[in-house]
Amino acid sequence: LASASLAQGLSSARSVALGAGGMALAKGVDAARFNPANLGFGEYRASGIELVGVGANVSNNSFTLDDYNKYTGAFLTDADKEDILNKVADEGLYLNIDAEATAMAISLGSIVVGVSGNGIADINLNKDLLELVLNGNTFADTIEITGSYSEAVAYGSAYLSYGRAIYKSGARELAIGTTFRYLRGIAVERVVELEGMAATFATGFEGEGSMVIQTATGGSGYAVDLGASLKLNDNYTVGVRMRNIFSSLTWNKDCEEHGYNFSFDTMTVDNMEEDYIVSDDYSIDIDDFSTNLPSVLNVGVANTTGSLLWAVDWEQGFRRATGVSSKPRISAGVEWSLIGSMPLRVGYSTGGNRNSAFSFGSGFHLPVFYVDYAVVTGTSFSGYSSK
């Protein structure tokens, strides 16, 4: 969907409405989320408290809400099954869950402090498994589970952001900034090994497979973001931010490894009930282990003045990891403040490992407080196009 990598930024309704972008527009507490260098500019600073921000996303890469309504509970013809399988990418059915909540983010000029919680899960199911469910096994057919994976992580963080201007010439100004986060691991689950196959022959079924999962329920670590922002003039700002340029999260509570192995040879209808499948499983304690939050590069440009603001962002991960893709993602958004207390926002994002999607939002901005909200659809304005 339109979520930022590792769910960071989902709790900013303004950013979600702008296609999960707008880093060159981010002010106050939002600057800490997207580019702390913005806090070096006087007009980007704010003094106030964001009481709470919450965002959540559940999505897949294949089926829209319209597909779900069409096929759920229906009798599936051969044409229906073929249509369902054609919608699934060759790499499989990808499921993603993101959530972020922030509480008591305090902005004091060039400094922002706050607390947040993040959770994300990525699951990929091999296309062969889906075909088996829909069509059953056929003679001389081989089913692979290689390519399936599952990863999930949840953590809380306390963060401090600071920005400072280092150069100014007329309207042009350059600022740098950093965000330091203390991480408290809540839970992690990752499949470190998954392979297997099953084949159908005239003599029966043959197959084997194994799976190894590592889990933990507590840990601690840190992450550091670095950013730079340049005001080209009074109207335009560009920015660059490297998220998690340094990070480490050591898991040291209830660290366990769970394994499962199975095999069978020439299994038939006659012998399948005679404990013909040889299998074993285990759960053992393991040493502490470390993970890191993947680094992500963001670049953005925005028009920052007038009643019609716009922003374009580019996001680039460097490897496939939980919530991150090595494919670039582009987002663009517009904010129209014809009525100053009720800004109207629309955005679009595409690329990466997320669906292409439109987003919309607004809010109520009064002198003492504000409330923003946003929703995301799919490749059209209709919610039925949402995956």
Cα separation, 21 vs 334, whole angstroms: 10
Q: What is the pTM of this model?
A: 0.85
For residues 352 and 329, is the Cβ–Cβ distance under 8 A? yes
Cα separation, 278 vs 260, whole angstroms: 11
Cα separation, 251 vs 169, whole angstroms: 48
pLDDT for the residue numbered 201: 66
Closest CA to 34 of 224, 227, 295, 308: 227
Cα separation, 285 vs 253, whole angstroms: 10
For residues 6 and 354, is the Cβ–Cβ distance under 8 A? no
Cα separation, 80 vs 82, whole angstroms: 5
- What 3-state class would DSSP assign to 86? helix
Please work out, in degrees rounded to the nearest 5, the angle formed at the alpha carbon of residue 372 by the alpha carbons of 370 and 373: 160
pLDDT tens digits in sequence order for the chain, 387 residues long: 333 445 568 899 999 999 988 899 999 999 999 999 999 999 999 899 999 999 999 999 899 999 999 988 888 888 998 899 899 988 888 898 999 999 889 999 999 999 999 999 988 888 877 777 777 666 556 677 777 788 999 999 999 999 999 999 999 999 999 999 999 999 999 988 888 777 766 566 677 888 899 999 999 999 999 999 999 999 999 999 999 999 999 999 999 999 988 776 655 445 555 555 677 889 999 999 999 898 999 999 999 999 999 999 999 988 777 767 788 999 999 999 988 789 999 999 998 878 899 999 999 988 889 999 999 998 888 888 998
Residue carrying the six token digits 């809400």: 65
For residues 294 and 319, is the Cβ–Cβ distance under 8 A? yes
The tokens describing 358, both together, are 């439109």
Terminal-to-terminal C-alpha distance of the chain: 8
Closest CA to 235 of 342, 310, 332: 310
Strands (E), the chain: 46-60, 93-109, 111-125, 142-144, 149-169, 172-201, 204-216, 218-231, 236-253, 256-267, 278-285, 289-291, 296-303, 308-317, 329-336, 344-351, 357-365, 370-376
Closest CA to 98 of 18, 24, 20, 28: 20
Other beta carbons within 10 Å of 72: 8
Q: How far is CA 172 from CA 37, 167, 304, 313, in A?
A: 15, 8, 14, 21
Q: Render the burial of 129-159: b for 16+ CB within 10 Å, e for the rest.
A: bbbbeeeeeeeeeebbbebbbbbbbbbbbeb
Q: How far is CA 271 from CA 29, 261, 264, 324, in A?
A: 65, 20, 11, 46
Cα separation, 364 vs 343, whole angstroms: 8
